[in-house]
Structure 1
Amino acid sequence: MEAKFVNPFLSSLLNVLSTMAQLELKPQAPRLKKDEVARGDVSGVIGMIGPMTKGSFSISFDKSLALEVMHRMLGERPKDINDDVTDMIGEITNMVTGGAKRILADQGYEFNMATPIVVSGPSHTIQHKTDGAKILMPFTSEYGIATIEICFAK
């Protein structure tokens, strides 16, 4: 998978969490993902389709990081992942994908976005519906790890 498809999602995630939650994440080394197990406690997943490409994007958060983002964005501090937290993760997924969509449109790649699906729980899975390589990229913070996955069709 080419960096021109991955980098817009990375920069969009950093921008969304910096702007909306005043939270800085540190990108770690990307790698290929070989399984379907999510690398967090709650994940937002969104499909994308356009005339030149199709794919999916997900972002998974450790529980501690998701709760901290909830506190910073909405002033609420739930003790556990609840409906409000999953709604917020869906919105973050939408915002990150929307930001990447704008960047990719400037490069000539148009696509439509589906409605995000949010999944939570220990060892939940994420199924990307395309046959391309799955790129996994973790981001660290003092509150936990966020991990994005990007998969575009071959």
Structure 2
Amino acid sequence: MGLEQTIIDATKDIFVNMIMMGATPGTPYQGKGEALIDSVTGMINLAGSHSGLLAIHLPTQAALEVSGSFLDLEIEELDDDVLDSIGELANMLAGNIKAELDPTGSSIQLSIPTTMHGDQYNIERIAGTSSLCVPFYLDDGDFVIELQLT
């Protein structure tokens, strides 16, 4: 299975089984470091035989909805619970990517999750990587999974 399909399958599975939401994939594209507006990003760095990062970018309102469903809480504002849950979501997705790239689990290491949020920011592409972005659509907003990989 290719990385594009791994991202799609893992995201759909995690959203249906852990978050109790359907996520419909859109057409993948090559990322160019687009500006993220009023967003939350969860990231995991990969190192070893393949290096790069896996990120999930969500508009703040979608992050609140996803986190609330994931934690089974009513969440109305961006707080540590939201950031932690988006970081954990990135971690679960990165684990699926690692399993596809490194079936033995010994040649790729994953970092701990990092989250960021803001009114406007960019995630620059790491030199020497390609950037695969897969958009997903929810009832309450859209989000993008980005994989930068050497």
Query: What TM-score, normalized by structure 1, do the two folds share?
Result: 0.85
- Which residue does 2:42 correspond to in 1? 44
> Is the aligned partner of 1:13 residue 2:14?
no
Q: CA deviation at 1:104?
A: 2.8
What residue identity is the alignment partner of 1:151?
A: Q
| Distance in 1 of aligned mates of 2:33 and 2:100 | 29
- 2:79 corresponds in structure 1 to 82
Cα separation, 1, equivalents of 2:128 and 2:82: 31
- Contact 1:27–1:139 (8 Å) recurs in 2: yes
Root mean square deviation of aligned Cα:
2.2
Equivalent residues in 2 for 1:5-154 (5 A)?
Answer: 5-38=3-36, 41-51=39-49, 53-106=50-103, 110-153=107-150
Equivalent AA in structure 1 for residue 58 of structure 2 = F
Identity %: 25
User: Which runs of no fewer than 5 residues in structure 1 stay unpaired?
Assistant: none
Structure with greater proportional strand content: 2
Q: Name the SS for the 1:123 alignment partner.
A: strand
Answer whether contact 1:8 1:104 (CA < 8 A) is retained. no
Note closer, same or farther for the CA distance 1:115–1:127 as it changes in structure 2 (3 Å cut): farther
Count of residue pairs brought into register by the alignment: 150
Query: Residue type of the partner of 1:100?
Result: I
Could you tell me the TM-score, scaled by structure 2's length?
A: 0.87
